[in-house]
């Protein structure tokens, strides 16, 4: 068995589907990538399960099974596309689909829907999943978990570098020149913009930010959105659809605004909260490396460039890792850490009581 070969599976808050990578943990290199969208009915159910509803336990169990089958199909596609025998893969690092994220205190928890046993059964490969819960149990946020991986891949000696993931939620990894690593969520990236365009235009996302670019930022609405107390919290902090959803937006929205102006304001919210957070926490940053689906939103990247004048804003592709592969690679790397019995979290990032081995193992037994 090739001890360095892992599969990483990531489905984020954007709900655009699953990215899977074949990852060489020794060379820190992706050797194959496959993306598959969620079936529309499953996507709708996963979105619905982000808020309380009837018969949640049964529906969540069925959705977890469906996520496992989707993951298993993607694994099969990835193995075929890369001509890799499954016996050469040491383990799968599988994120699952977050439907609740409420860390903090003795009652804190985080829930990623995935039937790990079913995935191990169908894929025939060891599965490491539920990667956030141990950090939460140790008093941490359970997020972000990727800064240590970002340090390994994007860190540069003597340079303050930030890595910005623009998924449904935006998060920053801060790779300081002196070797320190920080990280935290900054707020919504795509989740509100995706929800708003779906409501008004039936589209899954705002391609290249074109609809937002057709509107104008509304100062009063932006001020109302920025007044959300969560933005003023210091790190460590994390968030998700538990807070930032269309019902939240509807409580802030002023009547009579054109839908495209709301979209423009949501894009400004995403860009401004990232820029403000970076300027507070890493004022000497020389580069921002951008990944995630939002890296394909040209209007959002242009606005970030304006707000971060003097800082080089570039995508992760410049460093040889395409924007849609970074998070999946990070979870393959976390599975490698689990197999090697090495901690996967950074307490300085998440606020956990100390380093912890992250994940639960479902052996393939084949």
Q: Tens of pLDDT along 127-182?
A: 999 999 999 999 999 999 999 999 999 999 899 999 999 999 999 999 999 999 99
How, if at all, do strands 5-10 and 91-94 pair?
Answer: parallel
Q: What is the CATH number of domain 147-319?
A: 3.30.420.40
- What are the residues facing 127 on neighbouring strands? 92, 362
State both tokens at 160: 């303050």
Residues of the chain with CATH 3.30.420.40: 5-143+325-362, 147-319
- Residue 366 pLDDT more than 80? no
Question: Which H/E stretch holds residue 286?
Answer: none
123 or 2, which is more confident? 123
Per-residue pLDDT band for 106 (boundaries 50, 70, 90) equals: confident
Hey, what's the torsion of the CAs at 62, 68, 72, 74, to 10 degrees?
A: 100
Q: What is the pTM of this model?
A: 0.93
Tens digits of residue pLDDT in 16-56:
899 999 999 999 999 999 999 999 999 999 999 999 999 99
How, if at all, do strands 127-129 and 360-362 pair?
Answer: antiparallel
Q: Is 282 helix (H, G, I), strand (E, B) or coil?
A: coil
Could you give the CA distance from residue 336 to residue 7 in angstroms, rounded to a whole number?
Answer: 10
Residue range 5-143+325-362 forms a domain whose CATH class is alpha beta
Hey, what's the torsion of the CAs at 64, 324, 51, 191, to 10 degrees?
A: -170
């Amino acid at each position: 068995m090739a001890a360095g070969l892992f599969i990483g599976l990531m489905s984020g808050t954007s709900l655009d589907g699953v990215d899977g990578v074949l990852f060489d943990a020794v060379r820190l290199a992706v050797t194959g990538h496959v993306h598959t969208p969620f079936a529309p009915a499953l996507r709708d159910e996963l979105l619905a399960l982000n808020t309380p509803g009837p018969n949640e336990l049964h529906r969540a169990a069925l959705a977890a099974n469906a996520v496992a089958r989707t993951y298993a199909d993607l694994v099969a596609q990835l193995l075929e596309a890369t001509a890799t025998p499954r016996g050469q893969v040491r383990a799968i690092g599988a994120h699952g689909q977050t439907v609740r994220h409420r860390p903090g205190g003795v009652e804190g928890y985080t829930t990623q829907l995935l039937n790990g046993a079913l995935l191990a059964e169908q894929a025939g490969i060891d599965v490491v999943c539920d990667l956030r819960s141990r950090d939460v149990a140790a008093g941490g946020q359970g997020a972000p978990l990727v800064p240590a991986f970002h340090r390994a891949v994007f860190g540069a000696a003597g340079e303050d570098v930030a890595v910005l993931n623009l998924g449904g939620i935006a998060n920053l990894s801060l790779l300081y020149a002196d070797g320190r690593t920080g990280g935290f969520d900054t707020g919504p990236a795509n989740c509100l913009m995706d929800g708003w365009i779906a409501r008004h235009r039936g589209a899954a996302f705002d391609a290249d930010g074109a609809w937002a670019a057709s509107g104008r930022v509304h100062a009063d609405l932006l001020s109302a959105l920025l007044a959300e107390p969560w933005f003023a919290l210091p790190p460590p902090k994390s968030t998700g659809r538990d807070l930032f959803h269309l019902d939240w937006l509807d409580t802030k929205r002023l009547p009579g605004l054109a839908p495209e102006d709301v979209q423009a304001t949501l894009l400004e919210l995403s860009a401004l909260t990232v820029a403000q957070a970076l300027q507070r926490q890493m004022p000497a940053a020389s580069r921002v490396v951008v990944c995630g689906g939002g890296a394909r939103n040209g209007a959002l990247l242009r606005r970030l460039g304006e707000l971060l004048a003097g800082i080089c804003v570039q995508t992760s592709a410049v460093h040889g890792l395409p924007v849609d592969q970074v998070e999946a690679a990070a979870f393959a790397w976390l599975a490698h850490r689990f197999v090697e019995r090495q901690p996967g979290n950074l307490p300085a990032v998440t606020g956990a009581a100390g380093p912890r081995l992250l994940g639960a193992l479902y052996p393939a037994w084949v």
